[in-house]
């Protein structure tokens, strides 16, 4: 009998649990070359920002059209997103001797910063719906 009640309760709560998740679709614009890979990092906190991503993905680039990348089953919350186009597929964002990125990059909210990295607050988005699209525009440092 206890097992029956547990199954009934679990069945009642399961829809509520799944309602707290959705699909966030990243629309990455300005892809300049049909090679390499897009590295996507999703951060949940300021202390992790640009250090340790909560969610990371690597997507091969096969076209210069906008890339749509769905992140399914993402729990509702606040996130900061960083993307870079790894043109030479070495697994890192290449930088010159001054620490300036030499490969295209983007952040959520597309903050207009050039001489520093954006802050967590500048890139923070709120995700709380079953389906949401956000656009990220890849840029090169010299073109800001």
User: Is the model's pLDDT at 60 over the cut of 80?
Assistant: yes
Domain ranges of the chain: 21-143
Give the β-pairing of 37-43 and 124-127.
unpaired
Residue 82, CA distances (Å) to 3, 5, 6, 7, 48 in order = 45, 45, 42, 41, 12
Count of helix runs (H) and strand runs (E) in the chain: 2, 8
User: Is the model's pLDDT at 12 over the cut of 70?
Assistant: no
User: Is the model's pLDDT at 141 over the cut of 90?
Assistant: no
What is the C-alpha separation between 58 and 120, in angstroms, rounded? 21
pTM: 0.83
Q: For residue 136, which of 28, 39, 24, 62 has the smallest C-alpha distance?
A: 28
18: tokens are: 């799944």
| pLDDT (tens digit per residue) in 38-55 | 999 999 999 999 999 999
Sheet holding 21-29, edge to edge: 67-75, 21-29, 131-137
- Stated as kind and residue range, the H or E segment containing 142 is none
Q: Are 5 and 113 within 8 A, CB to CB?
A: no
At residue 65, the pLDDT reads 87
Domain 21-143 has CATH 1.20.1530: no
| pLDDT (tens digit per residue) in 84-127 | 999 999 999 999 999 999 999 999 999 988 888 999 999 999 99
């Amino acid at each position: 009998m206890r097992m029956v009640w547990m199954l009934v309760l679990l069945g009642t709560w399961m829809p509520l649990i799944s309602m707290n998740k959705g699909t966030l679709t990243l629309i990455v614009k300005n892809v300049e070359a049909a090679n390499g890979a897009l590295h996507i990092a999703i951060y949940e906190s300021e202390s992790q920002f640009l250090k340790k991503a909560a969610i990371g993905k690597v997507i091969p680039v096969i076209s210069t059209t906008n890339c749509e990348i769905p992140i399914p089953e993402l729990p509702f919350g606040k996130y900061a997103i960083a993307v870079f186009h790894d043109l030479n597929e070495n697994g890192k964002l290449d930088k010159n001797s001054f620490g300036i990125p030499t490969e295209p990059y983007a952040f959520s909210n597309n903050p207009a910063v050039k001489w520093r990295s954006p802050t967590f607050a500048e890139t923070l988005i709120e995700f709380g719906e079953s389906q949401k699209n956000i656009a990220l525009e890849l840029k090169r440092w010299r073109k800001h």
